[in-house]
Amino acid sequence: MEFSAESIAALIKGKVEGDPQAAVYTFAKIEEGHPGALSFLANPKYTHFIYETKSTIVLVSNDFVAERPITATLIRVQDPYEAIAHLLEIVKQATTQLPTGVEQPSFVAEGVDLPQGVYVGAFAYIGRGAKLGKDVKIYPQAYVGEGVEIGEGTIINPGVKIYHGCKIGKRCIIHSGAVIGADGFGFAPDADGTYSKIPQMGIVEIGDDVEIGANTTIDRAMMGATRLANGVKLDNLIQIAHNVQVGRNTAMAAQAGIAGSAKIGDNCMIGGQVGVSGHITIGNRAQIGAQAGIPNSVKEGVRLLGTPAVPALDFAKQCALMKRLPDLFNRVESLEKQKK
C-alpha cells in the first residue's frame, strides 16, 4: 500500500516541499534509501546523505537549510525524530495484531483468572495466585511465579522469568531473557572464610510504562522492594541489584550496573557500561557518560564521565593533558638540566 507525501504530511502536521503526489510504501534509513521509501534526517551527522539518498520522501526539520539540490521530496516538521516515531506507530498499529487466547500446552495454575484479551503462549508457566490484568500478553516459555501481579496491557516476551511475588505495572514491555526477582547478592562472611546466604525476602516492584531490555536482571530486595518508577527505560544486559530505587523516566543504556541499595533520581540518563556503587544517591536529571564509574553520591543535573567520574568538561581536559604528559616530563627534565 502506498501513501502520498501530501497524506503523510497531514498525519504529522508537516509541510511538503516538492511533489505532493510522491508516494512511498516503506521506511528506510537515509543512508540506505531507495525509491518508494520514506526516510528521516534528525542527527546532523547524517546531513550529507540527504543530497544522495534515493528515498522518495525525507522528513526534515523546519530549520533545515539545503546547501545543494535534493532529489527527494521533503516534508518539513518541527521534530523529525518524533514525527517518524509517530508514523512508525501508526503503521505498527495498522499491521500488528497481538495474539489472544491460550496456546497449548501451557501451564496455568488452578484458580488463576485470565481476563479479556490475555494471551498465554505455549510452554508459558503461570504460578498459583498470579494476577494478570486485561490484555496482558505472556509469550511462549515465559515464567510468571507464584503471586506475581502484572498490570493491564503489559507484554512479557518469550522466555522472560519473573520470580514469585513481584509486581509489574501497566503497559510495560519486558524483553526476552530478562530476569525479574532473582535473589539479591547478599552473604554474611563466616569466620572460616565461607559465606552464609542472607535470605532475600523482598520483591521487585515495577511501575507503569516501563520497558526492560533483553537479558537484563533486576534482583529482589533483601527486605522491602527493589523499585523501578513509572516510565523507566532499561536497555539490554543491565544489572539492577537488590533494594535499588530508580526514579521516574530514568533511562539506562546497555550493560550498565547499579549496585545494591543505590537510589537513582528521576529523568537521569545513564550511559552504557556505567557502574554505580551501592548505597549512594544519584540526583535527578544526572547524566552519566558511557563506561563511567560512580563511587559516591552526586547532585542533581550533573554531567559526569570517567572512573572515578568527574564533571564531563574536566574529563575532556584531563584526557587532553594526558596526551601532553610525555611532553611535560620532557619539559621538566629540561628545566632541571638548565638548573645545573
Beta carbon of residue 37, minimum distance to a second copy (angstroms, whole number): 9
The answer to whether residue 277 forms part of the interface with a second copy (CB under 8 A) is: yes
By beta-carbon proximity to a second copy, the closer residue of 20 and 281 is 281
Sign of the CA dihedral 105, 132, 243, 301?
A: positive
Residue with cell 550529507: 48
Contact status, residue 40 vs residue 29, Cβ threshold 8 Å: no
Mark 227-266 with x for binding to a second copy (rule: CB under 8 A) and - for no binding: ----x-x-xxx-x-x-x----xx-x-xxx-x-x-x----x
- The yes-or-no answer on residue 242 being catalytic is yes
Grid coordinates of 233: 527505560
Count of all residues that appear for the chain in the document: 340
Q: Which residues pair with 108 in a beta bridge?
A: 126
The CA distances from residue 308 to 198, 217, 229, 262, 316, in Å, are 30, 24, 27, 16, 14
Beta carbon of residue 156, minimum distance to a second copy (angstroms, whole number): 12
Among 114, 267, 287, 303, interactor with a second copy by CB under 8 A: 267
Contact status, residue 40 vs residue 47, Cβ threshold 8 Å: no
**Footprint of a second copy on 36-75 (CB under 8 A):** 43, 45-46
Mark 291-330 with x for binding to a second copy (rule: CB under 8 A) and - for no binding: x-x-x----------xxx-x---x--xxx-xxxxxx-xx-
Please calculate the CA angle 221-222-225 and round it to the nearest 5 degrees. Answer: 30
CA dihedral 263, 265, 268, 274 (to 10 degrees): -10
Stretch that binds a second copy, among 8-16, 22-30, 62-70, 110-118 (CB under 8 A): 22-30
Grid coordinates of 112: 488463576
The CA radius of gyration of the chain, in Å to the nearest whole number, is 26
Instruction: Give the active site residue among 34, 48, 86, 242.
Output: 242
Residues that bind a second copy (rule: CB under 8 A) add up to a total of: 113
Beta carbon of residue 244, minimum distance to a second copy (angstroms, whole number): 11
Mark 88-117 with x for binding to a second copy (rule: CB under 8 A) and - for no binding: xx-xx----------x-x-x----------
Beta carbon of residue 113, minimum distance to a second copy (angstroms, whole number): 19
Catalytic sites, residue numbers: 242
